[in-house]
Amino acid sequence: MAPSSIAILGGGLTGLSAAFHLSRRFPAAQITLLNKDIHFGGWVHSRRAKITLKDGRETSVLLEAGPRTLRPNSKSVLELINLLDLSPFLLTVPKSSPAARNRFLHLPGTKGLLCIPSSPLSILTSGLSPKSSSLHSPLGHILLSAVAREPFRLWNRPLMIEDESVDEFLSRRFGSEFARIFGSALVHGIYAADSRELSVRAAFPSLWDAEERGRGSLVTGLLRPSRASATAEVNDLPYQLGDVDEQMRGVSVYSFSQGIGALVDALLRELRTRRNVRLVGGVSATGLRMNPRTAQFEITTSSCETLRATHTVSAVPLPSLKGLLSPKTPLPHLTANPYSSVTVVNLVFLASPGHVLHPVGFGYLVPRASSRHAENAILGCVFDSSSMSTQEAPWSADIVKMTAMLREPVASIARLVDMLSEQLGVRLPDPLVVRVHDNAHCIPLLRVGHLQRMQELSEVLQGEPWSSKLEVIGAGVGGVSVGDCVEAGRRAGRNWA
């Protein structure tokens, strides 16, 4: 039966996307979205800070505490851009630009940055060019030998295993040095977590599938087109992309002139015009149960009300959902994954002619150290001035903006600036603006076996008392990227008549 009333718990991107799509699909249903914080958007925080330039002119810089750039591979986000008329505010970074191509690593215990060759082909071609920096970088040698040997390694996935860590997977195919340096750095950049704990199937399903397509060789598999994704497109509800897909041709990453917050603001603007949607900020759900007599959900709230709904979408972190349930009707695996904490520090410097603070490029990541005591507090640093310089237009040339990600709160800004200077190999001046955001428990670490556990959760939700009327979605279920979250919201309630 089609829902007549829907409760959505959580107003991060997952919950907002669910509200947007459900209100279109079920225009006759009354939808109420509860969000614990007054601020909607969850971890998305885009703010401008006022600054005074050297010549006394006043302007502002855009600072992101959460997500800052998106990849165009998520069609559900492109669809929102089209449906919410966000195209005029898009800022794109072409794949061919140095800001997209140049990515760096800082190896713990060394000074300065090493350039990562942008593709296996570029390692080979850089080998032909005496001027290339990647030729002389040890990274080029590690990459080249790992990638060149991989197709000759026999199928070595142990029999009967259904999942393994990213580190185990990459070590099997490319060797442990490759896995420690490249795999751990990638996982630091996306999950702020340890690649030895993260599930390869949950985090990088395309790698697992490519190994199968390549009959054991990941490199061979990656070079073969995937039939599965083509079939999924045909069978699925088509995306309404307008010409946004076209605009994204050749784009590496994108954002908006007012940052990722533009997506949240546009969703809120649109939802506020919908008669069947009520957005309630600053009120949290405190309990959730299905009343067997009325076959309705009863949601108690921090404002001492009881919200009743025929259907419910939970888009809150899984441990929060656990706290809402009665011990009589538990759901499995809600606390199986820990959450990583990340301290994000925005730094803005005044530019000085001749004093280059970082190379042109996307930024750098710091891999896991070879010994525990050499571990670095800094996970990586994004060069916003290179990758999203147009957010500060027309004053982009007057400032240098970068964002450091740390695994622990900052003890002292002076110490942080020293550490960054050492990693960049350049003495940084005193920053003009510093904003520190301690994002506690912000990114779920999808542990090995995650997909199996989520399958079990889904089966329980199909049975009594939930009867598929409760959907559990969000970063801790279907993937942490903004694209994953928006897609999960788009799919919510697909089977509700």
Ligand X SMILES: Cc1cc2nc3c(=O)[nH]c(=O)nc-3n(C[C@H](O)[C@H](O)[C@H](O)COP(=O)(O)OP(=O)(O)OC[C@H]3O[C@@H](n4cnc5c(N)ncnc54)[C@H](O)[C@@H]3O)c2cc1C
Cα(263)–Cα(80) distance, integer angstroms: 8
> Tell me, what DSSP letter sits at residue 281?
E
Cα(158)–Cα(172) distance, integer angstroms: 10
Q: 260, 73 in Cβ contact below 8 A? A: no
Q: 182, 176 in Cβ contact below 8 A? A: no
Q: Closest residue (Cβ) to ligand X?
A: 42
Task: Compute the least distance from the CB of residue 252 to ligand X, in Å.
Answer: 13
Cα(166)–Cα(174) distance, integer angstroms: 12
| Residue 69 binds ligand X, judged by CB under 6 A | yes
| Residue 259 binds ligand X, judged by CB under 6 A | no
| Residue 66 binds ligand X, judged by CB under 6 A | yes
Nearer to ligand X, 285 or 400 (CB): 285
Q: 278, 109 in Cβ contact below 8 A? A: no
Binding residue for ligand X (CB under 6 A) from 3, 31, 32, 67?
Answer: 67
Beta strand segments in 275-384, E? 277-281, 285-291, 296-301, 306-309, 311-314, 339-350, 363-365, 378-382
Task: Compute the least distance from the CB of residue 182 to ligand X, in Å.
Answer: 19
Edge-first strand order for the sheet with 296-301 is 285-291, 296-301, 306-309
Nearer to ligand X, 290 or 345 (CB): 345
Q: Quickly list DSSP for 355-381.
A: B--S-SSSEEE-PPPSSGGG--SEEEE
Binding residue for ligand X (CB under 6 A) from 267, 285, 428, 472?
Answer: 285
Nearer to ligand X, 10 or 216 (CB): 10
| Residue 403 binds ligand X, judged by CB under 6 A | no
Which tokens is 403 given? 């964002």
Q: Which stretch binds ligand X (CB under 6 A): 88-96, 143-151, 314-322, 458-466?
A: 314-322
Judged by CB under 6 A, the number of residues near ligand X is 37
Task: Compute the least distance from the CB of residue 40 to ligand X, in Å.
Answer: 7
Binding residue for ligand X (CB under 6 A) from 6, 19, 29, 34?
Answer: 34
Task: Compute the least distance from the CB of residue 381 to ligand X, in Å.
Answer: 13
| Residue 316 binds ligand X, judged by CB under 6 A | yes
Binding residue for ligand X (CB under 6 A) from 63, 351, 482, 492?
Answer: 482
Nearer to ligand X, 307 or 399 (CB): 307
Binding residue for ligand X (CB under 6 A) from 344, 404, 428, 445?
Answer: 344
Nearer to ligand X, 49 or 325 (CB): 325
Tell me whether residue 104 is exposed, middle or buried, using C-beta atoms within 10 angstroms of its C-beta: 0 to 12, 13 to 18, 19 or more: buried
| Residue 68 binds ligand X, judged by CB under 6 A | yes
| Residue 187 binds ligand X, judged by CB under 6 A | no
> Tell me, what DSSP letter sits at residue 496?
-
| Residue 261 binds ligand X, judged by CB under 6 A | no
Which 9-28 residues touch ligand X, going by CB under 6 A? 9-15
Nearer to ligand X, 123 or 473 (CB): 473
| Residue 469 binds ligand X, judged by CB under 6 A | no
| Residue (of 151, 93, 143, 149) closest to 118 by Cα position | 143
**3-state SS, residue 141:** helix
**3-state SS, residue 84:** coil
Binding residue for ligand X (CB under 6 A) from 3, 5, 18, 42?
Answer: 42
| Residue 43 binds ligand X, judged by CB under 6 A | yes
Binding residue for ligand X (CB under 6 A) from 443, 446, 448, 470?
Answer: 443
| Residue 182 binds ligand X, judged by CB under 6 A | no
Q: Which stretch binds ligand X (CB under 6 A): 159-167, 304-312, 352-360, 436-444?
A: 436-444
Residues 6+ apart with CB under 8 A from 104: 113, 114, 115, 116, 359, 361, 363, 364, 365
How many CB atoms sit inside 10 A of residue 242's CB? 15
Binding residue for ligand X (CB under 6 A) from 347, 480, 487, 492?
Answer: 480
Task: Compute the least distance from the CB of residue 404 to ligand X, in Å.
Answer: 11
Q: 407, 379 in Cβ contact below 8 A? A: yes
| Residue 189 binds ligand X, judged by CB under 6 A | no
Q: 361, 386 in Cβ contact below 8 A? A: yes
Nearer to ligand X, 143 or 482 (CB): 482
> Tell me, what DSSP letter sits at residue 33?
E
Nearer to ligand X, 147 or 279 (CB): 279
Residues 6+ apart with CB under 8 A from 68: 255, 259, 260, 382, 384, 388, 403
Q: Which residues bind ligand X (CB under 6 A)?
A: 9-15, 34-37, 42-44, 66-70, 284-285, 315-317, 320, 342, 344, 439, 442-443, 474-475, 480-483, 485
